Structure 1
Amino acid sequence: MFNYTFQWRQALQKLPLLLDGALVTLQIALMSMAMGIALAVVLAVARNARSRWASAPATAWVEVSRNTPALFQIYMAHFGLGSFGIHLSPYLALLAGITFNNAGYLAETFRGALRAIPGTQLRAARSLGMPSIQAFRLIIMPQMFRIAFLPTTNQMVWAILMTSLGVTVGMNIDLAGVTQDINVRSFRTFEIFAIAAVIYYLIAKSVTLGARLLASRLFRY
């Protein structure tokens, strides 16, 4: 017979700790996205390059990141690198794993965006005497980011949710880690995880709605 007694008041008392964990989750997600975007731009350009010396490593990165589990990538950063004497803390291992994953997915997003931009624009900029790097930075990149803006937002949401995998390598200061610790001490599993799920949901929806609002302001024309 169902005789579970809900203790929401006891669970809600832990809300400040959960919110502190949520801030760490956001921090990791934002840092992984910033580094992932920077790497993805390089990977996207390299994949479009004619030289195999540039395209082959970039293709390998993208293939591995997109076709292996994110959990595997975090494990490799934490346990795998340890086999070679490189020991990363759970925080850094989680950050490295998510960054690696973000870079691979965003590289394909950016590569698709680059292909959507007519090549005549770059040639027109070059005909005006603009150096290739400057033309790419001032003409091509703004259009690339505009095309890839909403898909990049989806990756941000995915990065937020991926941080929950940190508990598998001992991460205990993000939202998932704090939730697990509170659950072990209080045994209020349903209530604690339900509150954490609501926090994850609100963060993800805030990012999505914020991105749509920003896009409507930035890309009116």
Structure 2
Amino acid sequence: MFNYSFRWNQALAALPQMLDGARVTLGIALQSMAIGLVLAVVLTLCRRSGNWFAAAIATGWVEIARNTPGLFQIYMAHFGLGAFGIHLSPFTALLSGIAFNNAGYLAENFRGALTAIPETQTRAARSLGLSGGQTFQLIVLPQMLRIAFLPTTNQMVWAILMTSLGVTVGMNADLAGVTQELNARSFRTFEFFAIAAVIYYLITKAVTLAARLVAWRLFIY
């Protein structure tokens, strides 16, 4: 017989704490995306460099990031590196794991974006006297980022949701960690996690909407 008694007032009273956790969640996601974007560009250049060693490392990174669980990557950062004497805090391990994952997915997005750019543009730029680096920086890179912009938005949403895995390595300052601690003290599982789910939903929807507005403003012909 269903006899559960909802206590929303108790959960809503803790909303400020959960919103503080949401800010930490968003901060981790933004930092991991910034790091991931830089690494993804480097990986993309390595895969196109013609250097087999650099290309092999970059390809291995992408394959591991895209074909292993995100939880595994965070565990390796927090527990796995400890075997070599490298001890990362839960925050750093979570950030490193998500950034590693982001870099792999974004590098593959960038690879796909590059294939959509006609090779004739590169040849035309070189014929005008631009160096290889200038051609990539001024001609190829802006178009690559434009084509990959919306897929990058999807990765940002994934990064936000992936922060919830931080509870498995002792991260307790983000939204999932705060919610778990509140639940452990009150045992109001449904109420707290329902509110957390709504907050995650609102954050990801806000990010998606903001990205569409930015794309509409930047990519008008």
Query: Would you call these one fold, judging by a TM-score over 0.5?
Result: yes
The correspondence of residues 65-214 of structure 1 with structure 2, limited to 5 A, is: 65-214=65-214
The correspondence of residues 1-40 of structure 1 with structure 2, limited to 5 A, is: 1-40=1-40
Report Cα offsets for 1:41-74 as digits up to 9, x if no partner: 1111222232212210000000111111000000
Runs of 4 or more off by more than 3 Å in structure 1?
none
What is the alpha-carbon distance in structure 2 between the residues aligned to residue 50 and residue 132 of structure 1? 13
Q: For structure 1, which runs of at least 5 residues remain unmatched after alignment?
A: none
What is the alpha-carbon distance in structure 1 between the residues aligned to residue 137 and residue 50 of structure 2? 20
What is the alpha-carbon distance in structure 2 between the residues aligned to residue 27 and residue 68 of structure 1? 24
What is the alpha-carbon distance in structure 1 between the residues aligned to residue 138 and residue 182 of structure 2? 49
Which shows bigger deviation, 73-82 or 42-51? 42-51
| Structure 2 letter corresponding to 1:64 | I
Q: For structure 2, which runs of at least 5 residues remain unmatched after alignment?
A: none
What SS class does the counterpart of residue 117 from structure 1 fall into?
Answer: coil
State the Cα distance separating 1:88 from its structure 2 match.
0.2
What is the alpha-carbon distance in structure 1 between the residues aligned to residue 50 and residue 114 of structure 2? 15
With the length of structure 1 as denominator, give the TM-score of the two structures. Answer: 0.98
What is the alpha-carbon distance in structure 2 between the residues aligned to residue 107 and residue 141 of structure 1? 13
What is the alpha-carbon distance in structure 2 between the residues aligned to residue 99 and residue 11 of structure 1? 32
State the Cα distance separating 1:22 from its structure 2 match.
0.3
With the length of structure 2 as denominator, give the TM-score of the two structures. Answer: 0.98
| Structure 2 letter corresponding to 1:188 | R
| Structure 2 letter corresponding to 1:103 | A
RMSD (Å) for aligned C-alpha atoms = 0.8
Note if contact 1:45-1:111 (Cα within 8 Å) is conserved in structure 2: no
What is the alpha-carbon distance in structure 2 between the residues aligned to residue 81 and residue 7 of structure 1? 43
The correspondence of residues 29-68 of structure 1 with structure 2, limited to 5 A, is: 29-68=29-68
State the Cα distance separating 1:216 from its structure 2 match.
1.1
Aligned length: 221
| Structure 2 letter corresponding to 1:166 | G
| Structure 1 letter corresponding to 2:189 | T
